[in-house]
Structure 1
Amino acid sequence: MSPGRAGATAEDARVARTRTDVARASLDVLTSDGFDELTHARVARLAGYSKTTLYTHWPSRVDLLTMALAALGELPHHTPTGDLRTDLIAELHAFRDAINDLGLDRVLMVLAQWGATVDEIARIRIDLVTDGEHVARRLLSQVAEGVRLEAAVSMLSGVVVCPTLMYGSPPDDTTVEHAIDILLAGLGVR
């Protein structure tokens, strides 16, 4: 290996470590204190880097938000088994667990609030929601299409989102199961 290549590898590792540190710090600030506190100064202090480093690589707060979402990684999803009811219940459990384990409720609140007025954040919100709904959408597309599919996906998401954001507590297993049964009955699935 040439000396230039070894130096590039060390620099690549340092850049990757900085990116990871900033992403984790951004997510910590976002989920603990919200978007208003997601500032370069706060993230730099928490990550252990200078504000100059952050402004150089991530010049806007939206960039820090993007880094925070990168720290989330891939959203957890259930691997479908072929039993629609069981798969929908398991997918809602995975969503509920992401709310609890990843602080996704705080992220969703930020995206809802700021996505209404900031186009870049609206695009980020759409990407996250699309990723979050893709398994449920694929499952429900077996029994619904068009407006009925859109309504069913919205209702399914709402089973977790509404009680979590409105009442501060995600639904329990029994509520999830009853919601799935009501939804499937409404779609004519027995």
Structure 2
Amino acid sequence: MATTDKRDPRVVRTHNDVPAVALRLLLDEGWEAVTPVRVATEAGYSRATIYTHWPERIDLLRDAFAQFSEMPHHEASGDAELDLRGELASFSRAMVEHRLDRALATLAERTQTNPEIAPIRNTFVADGERPMRHTLRALAEDPAAEAALLMLTGMVTHSVLMHGTPPSDEVLDAAVDIVMRGLAQRD
């Protein structure tokens, strides 16, 4: 039996519109642009509406970052090598197309000076890593699975943040080959 969303359609629309505007402001103009007053103005809602649904700025930021949870991931096939390559390619594309690089850099910077951002970062990272972590844990136990995850995601992050471009498909393939060979040698 299908369930229906019984929330007021206006509330649903508000909860879709406002975080999307907050995220756009964050990525376009930076952390300081995401204020309840600015988001209200940009989204076309009253300040009272914003404060009713997001009483604290941190609530607004949390929901802005939650927009990334809907980013596409590689659909798992059950073939670990194929799934790692697919997920790395998805991650690489997201760094550029969804401006994930900017979001990650912002979270890394802000968490250093504001511990209340850590739960947002932790949820954000856990959601993003989940598919690859699942694949790697089927191949190896920690700490090997954790090391492989950090190596693979780290090389994408490094390439985009430090070189301004995602790694090529050939580099992604080589990284997966190296990790797969390394994990196979551990058995």
Fold shared per TM-score above 0.5: yes
Whether 1:114 aligns to 2:114 is no
Give the match's secondary structure for 1:87: helix
The aligned residue for residue 124 of structure 2 is 128
User: Which one of the candidate residues 8, 13, 18 is aligned to 1:22?
Assistant: 18
Structure 1 position 125, deviation (Å):
1.0
One-letter code aligned to 1:125 = R
Pairwise mapping of residues 1-190 of structure 1 onto structure 2 (< 5 A)? 12-188=8-184
Please report the TM-score for the alignment, with normalisation by the length of structure 1.
Answer: 0.85
Please report the TM-score for the alignment, with normalisation by the length of structure 2.
Answer: 0.87
Matches of 1:177 and 1:58 in 2, distance apart?
Answer: 43
Give the match's secondary structure for 1:80: coil
Structure 1 position 59, deviation (Å):
2.5
One-letter code aligned to 2:45 = Y
Describe the superposition over 1:76-106 as per-residue Cα deviations: whole angstroms up to 9, x where unpaired.
Answer: 2212223222111001011122222222111
Verify the 8 A CA contact 1:75 1:131 in the aligned structure 2: no
Matches of 2:18 and 2:34 in 1, distance apart?
Answer: 11
Describe the superposition over 1:113-171 as per-residue Cα deviations: whole angstroms up to 9, x where unpaired.
Answer: 11223233111111111111111111112322121111111111112111112222111
The aligned residue for residue 4 of structure 1 is none
Verify the 8 A CA contact 1:152 1:183 in the aligned structure 2: yes
Unmatched tracts of structure 1, length 5 or more:
1-8
Q: Are the structure 2 counterparts of residues 134 and 70 from structure 1 closer, same or farther at C-alpha, using a change threshold of 3 Å?
A: closer
Give the match's secondary structure for 1:77: coil
One-letter code aligned to 2:133 = R
Matches of 1:132 and 1:24 in 2, distance apart?
Answer: 18
Q: Are the structure 2 counterparts of residues 73 and 28 from structure 1 closer, same or farther at C-alpha, using a change threshold of 3 Å?
A: same
One-letter code aligned to 1:149 = A
Give the match's secondary structure for 2:91: helix
What is the Cα-based RMSD across aligned positions, in Å?
2.1
Give the match's secondary structure for 2:25: helix
Matches of 1:178 and 1:34 in 2, distance apart?
Answer: 35
Matches of 1:151 and 1:117 in 2, distance apart?
Answer: 27
Q: Are the structure 2 counterparts of residues 111 and 133 from structure 1 closer, same or farther at C-alpha, using a change threshold of 3 Å?
A: same
Unmatched tracts of structure 2, length 5 or more:
none
Greater Rg over alpha carbons, structure? 1
